[in-house]
Structure 1
Amino acid sequence: MPNLLSALAFIAEQAQSNFVNKTQHSFEVQEKFLFKLLRAYQRTELGCQYGLKHIKNIEQFQKQIPVLPYSAYKPYVERIAAGEQNILTPDPVIYLNRTSGSTGKQKLIPITRRFQNILGWANLTSIGFLSQALRKQGKQFAPGLAINAITKPELTSGGIQYGSAGPGVLRMGTFFYKHLLVHSYDTFKPQDTLARSYIGLLFSLFNSPQSIGGNFPMVILQICNILEQYGENLISDLETGRIAPWLKLEPELRVRLEAQLSPAPIRAAKLQEILRSEGRLTPILAWPNLAFYATARGGTSDFYLERFPEYFGNIPGFGMVFATAEGTFGIYPDFNTDGSILAIETGFFEFIPSDQWGEEHPKTLLAQDVKPGEYYRILVTNYSGFYRYDIGDIFEVLGFYEQVPLLVFRYRRGGLLSSAMEKTTEYHATQVMQILQQKFNILLEDFCITLSENEFPARYLVNIELASDYHLQYPYAFIESFDNVLKEIHTYYDVKRKISIPPPCLRIMKSGSFDKIRQRQIKKGIPVYQLKFPHISEDRDFMAGLEFEKEIQLIA
């Protein structure tokens, strides 16, 4: 395995080096990508409708093909799902990525082998950046603990597999991913969420993972909580080489997993000593050689990342790639970096500046023309067969890597909170809560800002749940500070607050409230490892049925 990983790191660094060279020629790389795609797709049904073979330059491409949302592509995808060929892609569709639906309706994105290979090279490039970052610390790329699930794919009427992007990638790259894990690939297979997390931890405690990876920081925090809560059980299982009988495991899978375990009394004794002296197990205590964690950055992730030092100390974080079910948009170049390099080899990208967001046919900019500090909607044309597709995400440009912009996700278009058209974003809300946690020396388990009922304009309801062992000593000062800080960072809130928006109200929720909301979302069919929890919501029923310990109304 070490030789295989060394070879992988070498290939990855070659891919990274080639990518870096191409960042010096952004326009040429993007133009070449676009016209190679148009030539390959010109005889598809949609390619013929758009007249792709007649397009000679980028300006003509932008004039001839409109900016369209998913709803325009949905009828074509439904035909693909029914088994029709050459609709959006000339290559056979081997899988349909289903978006999570956490922030909107679920969508299906066609995946071909060619498209999957292109995205795979982006992943390889990110490993190259990671390998270089590790070498700067005197470390080599090594296997880690990954948090994910292998769910059985469903079949469309046309016999095409469909499901979440993560499990689909794992299934299509089984050999590759087996060598990146310290735990058995079978640990992804339990259907019960607790059992899956518990088994992944149990196998990892036998070894020493270099990293912990999960789609979102909240997922990693949940693993940290399970390690802490079930530390005694895990140590007992480690000592005996058996899996706790109370764990909900499929019988055949339990037999297969236990056959891969063996007693580890020495390791168990060492962990028991740590548990006795420290009072709990955390990743940094259980695995002192842990080098980094890998998870999403930007957007709502920043709020959860504030809790990571409690479990990881000063261990750095790595974003790997910024990817959605629709494709890969950015590649992270280093540890503790929020900005990802636009993935210029995975798609042709255009940027809609904020002054064009209300236009039916917006003017767009190319990658080299965007400006640092500005916010943009991003359009992608890639091998899924979608052209100038608006994914609905808002990015900020932080700067440039050679000629390629560095992007950070800020919020999702439409994910706004408005009492009087002030348009508060998740980024605003997260910024405020980060400031208030430091000011009042507290940690929040989670929060969500909603709007009051039967009032117009409505007041902001600031729903918070304190992390265990934390108490908010001055709740009135907290909601007063919330109001003031939001005014400082959000001009439109300040203006509307003065003339129309009523004073906000703080609700301190009972312990476990936000876990109940997450369970509600999971029951709706949102995969647990793709769950993106909203921190603002105009849904008046979002917090329905939950109890609060205290309500504090700010006086005007």
Structure 2
Amino acid sequence: MTNLFLSALKAYAPYARTTFIQKTTQPMAIQEQFLRKLLQVQQGTELGQYFGLKDIRTIEQFRQQVPIWSYADYEPYTERVALGEPNVLNPDPVVYINLTSGTTGKQKKVPVTRRFQRSLSRANAASLGFLHEAVQRHSLGRSQSLELGRLLSTNSVRVQGQTPAGIDYGPVTVGSYRLSRSVCQRVFAQPFTAMEIADAASRHYVCLLFALCNPQTRGITANFPMQILRICQYLEKFADDLVQDIATGNFAEWLTIDPTIRKTLERLRTPLPQRAQQLRRILQSEGRLTPRRAWSNLSLIGTARGGTSDFYFERFPDYFEDTPIFGGVYGTAEGTFAVCHDFNTDGSILALDSGFYEFIPQDQWEAAQPQTLLPVELKVGEFYRMLVTSYSGFYRYDIGDVVEVVGFYGQTPLIVFRHRRGGLLSSTTEKTTEFHVAQVMQMLQQEFKIGLDDFCITLSDHEFPARYRVNIELASGHTLEQPQQFLARFDDWLGEFNHPYATVRSDQVPPPQLRILAPGSFGIVRQRQLLRGTSDSQLKVLHITEDRDYLDGLQVLEVIDLSE
């Protein structure tokens, strides 16, 4: 059954890709068609009537008549949706509410209907088509051919809770997986039930266990590269226990699993002594178990690209060698905005029939109701804030993402997420972004031949202008032999990537300070996020913050000042 499903999926994928490519040659026609249909469907909702959607005939009229809103404007409406009030934002029943991670602020609620989900699935299907084509093309000339097949995911699929009206809510991935459970059951290397385990360590272990039982597992997927690395760390940490459980068909005694879930999973287990012996030989010869060694036919890693991903990708070759990375889609809880078209590529094609998009150029970022540009008006190399209109019931919604245009596919822009609006660090006026510091840390890891587990740039207390504090945690087995030179090069590189920083450093901002944190420090930061209610599949470490308390209580092993 699974092979039949995968065959059908592979047969449909090229059609979805071809259809999507055809649309990229006429982006505004597709955008106008999408908007016209959306306005017709949504016009009878309370907000649709308030905006007078039924009277809108053109894109320009839509832009003039409907204001740009932030989430604060939509929140009174989403709260009523959560209470079960119908026809507020959506004419269709709300089947789920996506919650944003809340990493950079209050969690937002985004209503999900079947119609909204279907509109996003078109982008997902196109992404699969591009993946199918990339697998075939990149297989040429390789000693080991690539192939689509079973995927390992350790994401939780547990609903976070229910609203007073009984509507499930939680992370976007949970809702997406649950609404497409039958597909997941055929594609994933682990049972769907394994992803329902509440305890994070136990869930990772059990998902790894089932995937390791299948030597033909072809890929690993997670929301963010940091989570891919965490899967690798679990595999290393529990290698002996995993091999033992594969041999015996049992579960390790320390696992915390709900009895009902355990009973279901136990029925799916059987001893596999030959597979265990194969993995044990790898473990003995290599001294550890890595994904590339555990699954010799591993063909792809699926995870987000753009933003600070390159910082984490620096450590991927140690675990995956040259296994290609595919970005899938660029999306958030608020929607799916762009489709990845090749391996190891950041630029994604604007998803023309999953939303209607407008872009705010940088010279309009401070305006209350800024002038916007349409997709065909964008320029390569420029940064824009993106507005989205979709079947979520949000119109001209400022999602808070800043994207860079890196090219065009046909007539349609290729965009890359760079940072969140407001995600800036300034001692005076320099406006350093996460993207700036991620580029710096990527260069420093290469230059000093070290690995960093993670990092965060903060500002010093009790001085103005404040100095930059470079907080780093070295990866296991790595040492920094020249901390003074490392800090000096941080100063140089940041000036290269963010010219205003170089300007203010020359006569205003004091020299930066390096703080080397104890091992496990960013694990504590992530644990704090979990305690605040963030799902472990949405965990993201802030790489810049003006919150002086963000790293409070962590052990600092060494402090290095830059002498000038």
TM-score (structure 2 length as normaliser) = 0.97
Q: Match for residue 142 of structure 2?
A: none
Q: Match for residue 171 of structure 1?
A: 178
CA shift at 1:251, angstroms?
Answer: 2.1
Q: Secondary structure at the match of 2:26?
A: helix
CA shift at 1:159, angstroms?
Answer: 2.2
Cα separation, 2, equivalents of 1:17 and 1:548:
54
Q: Match for residue 553 of structure 1?
A: 561
Q: Match for residue 78 of structure 1?
A: 79
CA shift at 1:360, angstroms?
Answer: 0.9
Contact 1:6 1:141 in 2 (8 A): no
Q: Match for residue 303 of structure 1?
A: 311
Q: Which amino acid aligns with 1:521?
A: Q
Cα separation, 1, equivalents of 2:531 and 2:252:
26
Q: Match for residue 182 of structure 1?
A: 189
Cα deviation, 1:156-197, whole Å, max 9, x if unaligned, reads: 122222111111111111101111112211110111110000
Cα separation, 2, equivalents of 1:343 and 1:120:
11
CA shift at 1:139, angstroms?
Answer: 4.2
CA shift at 1:153, angstroms?
Answer: 4.4
Cα separation, 2, equivalents of 1:49 and 1:445:
50
Equivalent position to 1:142, from 126, 141, 149:
149
Q: Secondary structure at the match of 1:249?
A: coil
Equivalent position to 1:541, from 531, 541, 549:
549
1:98-497 to structure 2, matched below 5 A, reads 98-136=99-137, 137=139, 139-207=146-214, 208-497=216-505
Q: Which amino acid aligns with 1:383?
A: Y
Cα separation, 1, equivalents of 2:263 and 2:289:
27
Contact 2:147 2:299 in 1 (8 A): no
Cα separation, 2, equivalents of 1:310 and 1:88:
48
Q: Match for residue 531 of structure 1?
A: 539
CA shift at 1:454, angstroms?
Answer: 0.7
Cα separation, 2, equivalents of 1:204 and 1:40:
43
Q: Which amino acid aligns with 2:375?
A: A
Contact 2:155 2:195 in 1 (8 A): yes
CA shift at 1:336, angstroms?
Answer: 0.7
Instruction: List alignment gaps of at least 5 residues for structure 1.
Output: none
Contact 2:27 2:412 in 1 (8 A): yes
Cα deviation, 1:354-406, whole Å, max 9, x if unaligned, reads: 11101111111111110010000000000011110000000000000001100
Cα separation, 2, equivalents of 1:448 and 1:239:
42
Change (3 A) 1:447 1:139: closer
Contact 1:95 1:160 in 2 (8 A): yes
Cα separation, 2, equivalents of 1:190 and 1:261:
16
Change (3 A) 1:246 1:96: same
Cα separation, 1, equivalents of 2:254 and 2:178:
29
Cα separation, 2, equivalents of 1:133 and 1:489:
32
Work out whether 1:28 is the aligned partner of 2:55. Answer: no
Q: Secondary structure at the match of 2:95?
A: strand
Instruction: List alignment gaps of at least 5 residues for structure 2.
Output: 140-144
Work out whether 1:8 is the aligned partner of 2:16. Answer: no
Give the % identical residues.
51
- Structure 1 segments of 4+ aligned residues over 3 angstroms from their partners: none
Q: Which amino acid aligns with 1:225?
A: Q
TM-score (structure 1 length as normaliser) = 0.99
Cα separation, 2, equivalents of 1:78 and 1:248:
35
Q: Which amino acid aligns with 2:293?
A: L
Cα separation, 2, equivalents of 1:84 and 1:347:
24
Cα deviation, 1:233-280, whole Å, max 9, x if unaligned, reads: 100000000000111222222222122110011110111111110000
Q: Which amino acid aligns with 1:162?
A: Y
Contact 2:307 2:434 in 1 (8 A): yes
Q: Secondary structure at the match of 2:64?
A: helix
Cα separation, 1, equivalents of 2:254 and 2:80:
45
Cα deviation, 1:17-40, whole Å, max 9, x if unaligned, reads: 111111111010001101111111
Q: Match for residue 42 of structure 2?
A: 41
Cα separation, 2, equivalents of 1:44 and 1:541:
43
